């Protein structure tokens, strides 16, 4: 799925409980998007102008280095160390956020051709065995748009009720203003 959808799913995972502080919520949210750092090969490809080697610079890295169990474990250990409170819960939700990213990729990352399935390599570097699902839907599909819209609606609902959204990570003041707008739009919700 797109990084935007991964980010939203990660934030919702972080907010599936109400006991975590902002730091832990940010950690879990970022774990939901972190796997896609292995798309850096695309930047190298663009920077070098090595047009003939798209496979080498992008396909060869993407869904491999960031999309495997070792990366997930590493993120959980990092989350444990970085959390100031609720270390175990933060680490567990970080693992869930990471694996939801992988699940979303397996579900909806296909190209335009039905045979253009996009696998992940969960057991890399122990195994190069691709993990994929024959029913994978396209990256640009109504399913992905629907999931993204559902996430946004849920975030508006939670923002209205809890007083913050994902903007708390970068712009807390703006976040409060946004929450006020949500409360104006939906004054009767509880």
Q: What residues line the site for Zn ion (CB under 5 A)?
A: 35-36, 105
**Of 121 and 182, CB closest to Zn ion:** 121
Cβ 36 to Zn ion shortest distance, Å:
5
Helix intervals (H) in the chain: 3-14, 22-31, 40-48, 54, 69-82, 87-107, 142-162, 172-185
Residue 12 tokens read as: 């919702």
Cβ 32 to Zn ion shortest distance, Å:
10
Residue 90 tokens read as: 């933060």
First vs last C-alpha separation in the chain: 31
**Of 105 and 168, CB closest to Zn ion:** 105
**Of 39 and 163, CB closest to Zn ion:** 39
Of 72, 63, 69, nearest to 40 (Cα)? Answer: 63
**Of 68 and 90, CB closest to Zn ion:** 68
Cβ 134 to Zn ion shortest distance, Å:
19
Q: Determine the Cα–Cα distance for residues 104 and 186; give it in Å rounded to an integer.
A: 30
Q: Determine the Cα–Cα distance for residues 68 and 121; give it in Å rounded to an integer.
A: 6
Q: Determine the Cα–Cα distance for residues 177 and 172; give it in Å rounded to an integer.
A: 9
Cβ 115 to Zn ion shortest distance, Å:
20
Cβ 52 to Zn ion shortest distance, Å:
25
**Of 36 and 175, CB closest to Zn ion:** 36
Angle between helices 3-14 and 22-31 (to 10 degrees): 140
């Amino acid at each position: 799925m797109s990084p935007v959808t991964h980010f939203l799913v990660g934030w919702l995972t972080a907010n599936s409980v109400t006991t975590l502080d902002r730091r832990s919520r940010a950690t879990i949210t970022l774990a939901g998007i972190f796997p896609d750092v292995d798309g850096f090969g695309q930047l190298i490809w663009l920077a070098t102008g090595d047009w003939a080697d798209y496979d080498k610079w992008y396909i060869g890295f993407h869904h491999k280095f960031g999309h495997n169990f070792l990366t997930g474990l590493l993120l959980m250990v990092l989350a444990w160390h970085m959390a100031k409170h609720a270390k175990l819960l933060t680490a567990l939700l970080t693992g869930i956020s990471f694996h939801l990213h992988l699940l979303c990729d397996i579900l909806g990352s296909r190209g335009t051709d039905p045979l253009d399935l996009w696998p992940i390599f969960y057991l890399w570097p122990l195994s190069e065995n691709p993990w994929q699902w024959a029913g994978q839907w396209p990256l640009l599909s109504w399913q992905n748009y629907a999931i993204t819209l559902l996430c946004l609606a849920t975030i508006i609902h939670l923002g209205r009720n809890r007083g913050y959204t994902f903007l708390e990570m970068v712009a807390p003041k703006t976040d409060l203003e946004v929450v006020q707008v949500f409360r104006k739009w939906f004054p009767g919700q509880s």
